[in-house]
């Protein structure tokens, strides 16, 4: 368990296996109904014309969680305990690190205006939490951290997370497949299904508007209400074509929707039915559902990253045509409803609309990520490999046999000096020099290719350039692996070559293809290195939501970290992570670094 974080909740010490028995209640157990009459399933649905292409190697998130659970990682329990104390975001990651160094826990459409949600009380920006199947919590964008089950053995894997919401954003709860609830911060514990036999496992949870209650939903559509959550019906006892995979409540808490893996939507209480994909053949199953702030629409998300918008739900993009090796686990909308994030099972986050990218999990996890949840944050970026205010260098083939001196923390190493160029001949030695601070970069040059494995190139401004970028990134990754180094580290795309000039739309497409290529290889963190003064002239108004490494010489880097966006309005829109503040021809002595090399500072 996290060192300073004890869950408030209940978990039976002899939790039973899932059995084919009707659930039973005793004493003050929750309101449960499993065989009540349910509304007829809608037979018609609609979808947006989103391309849904999923590689055969992509598995469902449910299978990934089941595989993790079967490995013996979930085999113990906890009892009720006192409320937790808040901890730092860094602690949330550290507390979830296993001994094996596996850490636990991007189709246009006209959109409708959606009223903004409640103003965040825990911070000024939209941020997010991620939760892993082992209960590990990762807080991003300055979202508060209240504790987690990371590092604690569980009877069953965690499958969901819900916060106390706009009441005060003061806590959250995790739910496991056996219905065990773990509450942190000021989130109240109002009961659980832990220790009660279930027909089918719990697959989701959603809180009431005031945070003083919650609903659980099982894969057979059974609904369990706790605290001030009202029961409005369920699909329990009704044959379903596909299992239920998620749930969403209406804004007033007087209704809810259930969604099945085939996209069938079931509305209860005051929840309106706005359509479904229940009668449409999907390439990949639906994995999550998110409602709009006014309750007049919802989004369905598939494991291949396809997004289906119904009612007044706005569509900001999808990953449906982007190749991937890890399934999408969940989607969460921003606090104002102007965007959303997706996360895959390995913790890689992609931002759409006005959603800001605040980071992804470390590359190697002890258990798959199962959900992303909106949170208020301060806008702090804590997902970097490098501590803020640390120094170091970036090196390439030009530094063969002449490595920068110690000490250094930042250590970025070139893999190739051009798209499809030869491998840095000193890559292995330079990676060894970098040690635990290793990041990699590829120097991009312009070109085109007739084809690639990136179906999303069809929606860019130039298909052949996008193809070229995708293929070049895959080639660079392969060369890094062939060199025998650890290629599973953060990567950077060096965008500065004069060959990008004169065709900004095509250049932007090439960069997007390269981003897709490294993500296809499973890299969680892919950023861009570029001079802020040159970026717009090379790629136009392209602003990918990825980390930014700025080349801005002979200026105090800590100042540049904070003001570069006010000086240059068009840049990659993710967090400013590194500043290259000096080079041999433009030296700036700082931090004890040698001025004979490119010098870098972590924001």
Give 449-498 pLDDT, tens digit per residue.
999 999 999 999 999 999 999 999 999 999 999 999 999 999 999 999 99
Integer angstrom CA distances of residue 106 from 82, 402, 440, 600: 40, 39, 22, 29
Asked if 392 and 409 touch (Cβ cutoff 8 Å), the reply is yes
Alpha-carbon distance of 265 to 242, in angstroms, equals 11
Dump the DSSP string for 47-60.
---------TT---
**8-10/181-185 β-pairing:** antiparallel
DSSP conformation class of 363: S
> 3-class DSSP state for residue 340?
strand
DSSP conformation class of 499: G
Alpha-carbon distance of 367 to 388, in angstroms, equals 28
Average pLDDT of the residues in 336-345: 96
Asked if 487 and 478 touch (Cβ cutoff 8 Å), the reply is no
Report pLDDT for 497: 98
| Token pair of 526 as six digits | 């892919």
Share of the chain above pLDDT 70, in %: 80
The model's pLDDT over 367-393, given as tens digits with 9 standing for 90+, comes to 999 999 999 999 988 888 899 999 999
Alpha-carbon distance of 600 to 50, in angstroms, equals 41
Query: Please, which pLDDT band fits residue 86 given cuts at 50, 70 and 90?
Result: very low
Cα of 152 vs its chain's centroid, Å: 23
Average pLDDT of the residues in 412-427: 97
Asked if 167 and 153 touch (Cβ cutoff 8 Å), the reply is no
pTM of the model: 0.82
Report pLDDT for 63: 46
Task: Flag whether pLDDT at 123 surpasses 80.
Answer: no
> What b-and-e string marks burial along 23-38, b requiring 16 or more CB atoms within 10 Å of the CB?
beeeeebbebbbeeeb
Q: How many helices (H) and strands (E) does the chain have?
A: 7, 28
DSSP conformation class of 397: G
Asked if 224 and 258 touch (Cβ cutoff 8 Å), the reply is no
Query: Please, which pLDDT band fits residue 24 given cuts at 50, 70 and 90?
Result: very low
Report pLDDT for 166: 78
Query: Please, which pLDDT band fits residue 130 given cuts at 50, 70 and 90?
Result: very high
Highest mean pLDDT among 114-118, 121-125, 332-336: 332-336
C-alpha count within 13 angstroms, C-beta hemisphere, residue 579: 23
The model's pLDDT over 152-203, given as tens digits with 9 standing for 90+, comes to 999 999 999 999 987 789 999 999 999 999 999 999 999 999 999 999 999 9
Share of the chain above pLDDT 90, in %: 77
Which domains are present in the chain? 8-12+42-377 (2.120.10.30), 391-602 (3.20.20.80)
| Token pair of 181 as six digits | 């609830």
Query: Please, which pLDDT band fits residue 91 given cuts at 50, 70 and 90?
Result: very low
Report pLDDT for 179: 98
CA dihedral 318, 541, 116, 285 (to 10 degrees): 0
DSSP conformation class of 435: G
Strand locations in 396-536 (E): 410-416, 438-443, 491-494, 526-530
* 180: region left, alpha or beta (phi > 0 left; psi from -120 to 50 alpha): beta
Report pLDDT for 347: 97
Phi and psi angles of residue 8, each rounded to the nearest 5 degrees, phi first: -100, 115
């Amino acid at each position: 368990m996290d060192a300073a974080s004890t869950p408030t909740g209940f978990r039976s010490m002899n939790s039973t296996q899932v059995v084919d028995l009707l659930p039973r209640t005793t004493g003050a157990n929750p309101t449960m109904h499993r065989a009540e009459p349910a509304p007829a399933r809608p037979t018609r649905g609609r979808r947006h014309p989103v391309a849904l292409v999923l590689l055969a190697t992509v598995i469902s998130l449910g299978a990934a969680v089941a595989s993790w659970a079967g490995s013996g990682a979930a085999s113990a329990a906890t009892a009720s305990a006192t409320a937790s104390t808040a901890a730092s975001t860094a602690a949330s990651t550290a507390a979830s690190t296993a001994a094996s160094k596996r850490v636990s826990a991007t189709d246009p459409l006209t959109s409708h205006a959606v009223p903004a949600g409640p103003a965040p009380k825990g911070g000024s920006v939209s941020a997010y939490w991620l939760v892993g199947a082992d209960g590990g919590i990762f807080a991003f964008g300055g979202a508060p951290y209240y504790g987690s089950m990371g590092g604690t053995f569980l009877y069953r894997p965690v499958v969901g997370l819900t916060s106390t919401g706009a009441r005060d954003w003061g806590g959250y709860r995790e739910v496991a497949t056996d219905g065990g609830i773990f509450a942190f911060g000021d989130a109240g514990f109002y009961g659980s299904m832990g220790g009660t036999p279930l027909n089918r496992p719990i697959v989701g949870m959603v809180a009431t508007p005031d945070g003083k209650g919650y609903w659980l939903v099982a894969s057979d559509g059974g609904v369990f209400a706790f605290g001030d959550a009202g029961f409005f019906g369920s699909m329990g006892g009704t044959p379903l074509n596909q299992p239920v995979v998620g749930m969403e409540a209406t804004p007033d808490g007087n209704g809810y929707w259930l969604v099945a893996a085939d996209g069938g939507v079931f509305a209860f209480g005051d929840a309106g039915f706005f359509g479904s994909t229940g009668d449409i053949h999907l390439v990949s199953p639906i994995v999550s559902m998110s409602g709009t702030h006014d309750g007049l629409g919802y989004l369905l998300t598939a494991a291949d990253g396809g997004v289906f918008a119904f009612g007044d739900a706005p569509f900001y993009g999808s990953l449906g045509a982007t190749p991937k090796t890890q399934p999408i686990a969940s989607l969460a909308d921003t606090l104002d409803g102007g965007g959303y994030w997706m996360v895959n099972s390995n913790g890689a986050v992609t931002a759409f609309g006005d959603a800001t990218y605040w980071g992804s999990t470390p590359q190697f996890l002890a258990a798959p990520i199962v959900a992303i949840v909106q949170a208020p944050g301060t806008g702090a970026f804590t997902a970097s490999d490098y501590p803020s205010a640390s120094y170091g260098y970036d090196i390439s083939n030009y530094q063969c046999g002449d490595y920068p001196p110690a000490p250094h923390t930042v250590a970025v190493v070139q893999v190739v000096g051009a798209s499809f160029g030869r491998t840095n001949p000193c890559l292995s030695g330079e990676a060894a020099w970098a040690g635990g601070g290793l990041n990699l970069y590829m120097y991009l040059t312009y070109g085109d290719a007739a084809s690639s494995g990136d179906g999303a190139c069809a929606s860019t401004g130039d298909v052949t350039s996008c193809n070229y970028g995708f293929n070049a990134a895959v080639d660079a990754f392969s060369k890094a692996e062939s060199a025998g180094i650890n290629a599973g580290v953060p990567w950077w795309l060096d965008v500065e070559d004069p060959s990008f000039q004169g065709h900004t739309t095509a250049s932007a497409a090439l960069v997007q293809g390269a981003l897709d290529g490294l993500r296809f290889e499973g890299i969680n963190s892919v950023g861009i290195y570029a001079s802020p003064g040159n970026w717009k002239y090379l790629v136009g108004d392209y602003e990918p939501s990825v980390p930014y490494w700025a080349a801005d010489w002979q200026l105090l880097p800590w100042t540049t970290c904070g003001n570069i966006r006010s000086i240059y309005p068009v840049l990659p829109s993710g967090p400013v992570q590194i500043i290259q503040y000096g080079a041999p021809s433009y030296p700036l002595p700082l931090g004890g670094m040698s001025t004979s090399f490119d010098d870098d500072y972590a924001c």
